[in-house]
Structure formats: structure tokens, C-alpha cells
Amino acid sequence: MMIRINLLPVRAVKKREMGRQVLVLFAVVLVGAAIANYAWYDNRDSELTTHRQGVAAAKAKIAELEKIIGEVKNINTRKAEVEKKLAVLDSLRKGRNGPVRMMDALASATPKKVWVKTFAEVNNAVAIDGSAVSHDEVAEFMRGLNGVVWTPKGMGRLVDRRRESKTARVELLTAEATIEEFPEAQVTPFFKNIDLKNATQTKVTQPGTPSLVEFKITLSSNYAI
């Protein structure tokens, strides 16, 4: 007689045990996934926070630089305004001193036998009407005008130029009347574009009255130095 054993309860127990293991494994996987997701999220959140802090610092730096740029622009604006005012003051100073300088230059260039009758100046353009004893005196007057120069030490009269050394000897129009040597680049003509428009010998109308040469000269002045 064969004995029969019922294995159904054992199989059921194994199935339940396997089910529990599967559930535990699934729970472990879920917990692991949750932990991994949390760690990833925390890492992303930390990185995002770092980036936000970097952006905030960059914005603060930009704002600081913009403030500095604004201050520099204000300084440049004020500098331009000051330079403009200084230019106006310099122009006024030159305009005030210029005519005096030009009269000094004209007086130093005028020979004794030349008389200036009219003198007109508009925007540095000068017209001179005068009389002279002879054409030679008119020529001497023009040479005198050509010889008046401006140097770092003031107005002077050109004595000669030394081409080999590129210098010029100038007699300074001061009380001492010293003669000094300057580089040619520092010697500037006081009068330019000197042009003799006409020179006419007058007729003697009365006995004993000398015949004079009436002349007209135009030139440009460089007194605003």
C-alpha cells in the first residue's frame, strides 16, 4: 500500500515567502530609488543655488561697474566742460593781449621814415595804409614785418638762421635786447602772408615838399599765440 503525502500547504508557504521577498525587494528598490532621486534633487538644488548665487554676484558686480562707468562718464563730462571753459578763458586772454602784442610787433618793424596812416584788423586779417620816403623804406618795412617772430621767451626780431644746426638767432624785444638762439620749430612768424598791394610815388605839389610813396600792405597776424 503506497503512502500519499499532501505537498500543497508547503507550496503555498513557499509562494507566500516568495511573495514577501518580492514585496521586500520591491520596497527596497522603491526606497533606493527615492533616496537616489532625493540625492539627485539635492545635488541639482545645490548646483542651482550655487548658480543663482553666482548670477546674483555677477549682477552686483555689473551694477558696481555701471556705477563706476557712470562716475567716469560724469568725470569726463566735467573735464570736457572745464576744458571748454579754459579754452574760452584762453581765447579771451589772447583776444585781450593780442592787439597789444600786434601793436608792439608793428612798432618794432616800422622804420623811422615810414608812417602808418590807417590800420584795420578783422579776424587776424590786417590792412595797412601808409607813406614812406622811398620804395627802399617800404621794402625795409616789409622785411621788418617778416622778421618779427614769436619765441618761448616772447616776441623778438629774427637776426639770422643757421641751416646747418637748424636754429635761429633772435633779438628779444625786451629792455635788455638780448640775442638768443632757438630751434627753428620754436620760432614762429608773427606776421604771415605779407603782400604789397600797391606803392605809388606821389607828385610834388609844392616846392620844398618831399615826394612820398603811398603804399598799401595786407597781411595776417598771428598774435593769438
Residue 65 lies in a domain: no
> How far does the chain reach from its first CA to its final CA, in angstroms?
145
> Would you state the cell numbers that stand for residue 145, as one nine-digit string?
614785418
Residue 61 lies in a domain: no
Per-residue pLDDT at 92: 46
Residue 159 lies in a domain: yes
Residue 57 lies in a domain: no
Per-residue pLDDT at 13: 63
Please work out, in degrees rounded to the nearest 5, the angle formed at the alpha carbon of residue 116 by the alpha carbons of 112 and 117: 140
Per-residue pLDDT at 63: 83
Over residues 111-149, the pLDDT tens digits come to 999 999 998 888 888 899 999 999 999 999 999 999 999
For residue 171, give its domain range. Answer: 94-221
Report the predicted TM-score, pTM, of the whole model to 2 decimal places.
0.55
- Cβ atoms < 10 Å from Cβ of 138: 22
Mean of pLDDT values over 161-178:
85
Residue 31 lies in a domain: no
- What average pLDDT does the chain have? 80
Residue 53 lies in a domain: no
Over residues 83-96, the pLDDT tens digits come to 776 565 455 455 55
Q: Is 21 exposed, middle or buried (0-12, 13-18, 19+ CB in 10 A)?
A: exposed
Per-residue pLDDT at 9: 61
* Confidence tier at 224 by pLDDT (50, 70, 90): low
* Confidence tier at 196 by pLDDT (50, 70, 90): very high
Over residues 203-222, the pLDDT tens digits come to 866 666 678 999 999 999 87
Distance CA 46, CA 55 (A): 14
Q: Which of 34-48, 73-87, 140-154 has the highest mean pLDDT?
A: 140-154
Residue 25 lies in a domain: no
Longest Cα separation, the chain: 191
For residues 92 and 181, is the Cβ–Cβ distance under 8 A? no
Write out the chain in H/E/C secondary structure: CCCCCCCHHHHHHHHHHHHHHHHHHHHHHHHHHHHHHHHHHHHHHHHHHHHHHHHHHHHHHHHHHHHHHHHHHHHHHHHHHHHHHHHHHHHHHHHHHHHHHHHHHHHHHCCCCEEEEEEEEECCEEEEEEEECCHHHHHHHHHHHHHEEEECCEEEEEEEEECCCCEEEEEECCCCCCEEEEEHHHCEECEEEEEEEEEEECCCCCCCCCCCEEEEEEEEECCCC
> Would you give the distance in Å from CA 12 to the centre of its chain?
100
Phi, psi of 171 (to 5 degrees): -90, 110
Residue 200 lies in a domain: yes
Rg (alpha carbons) of the chain, rounded to whole number: 51
Count of domains observed in the chain: 1
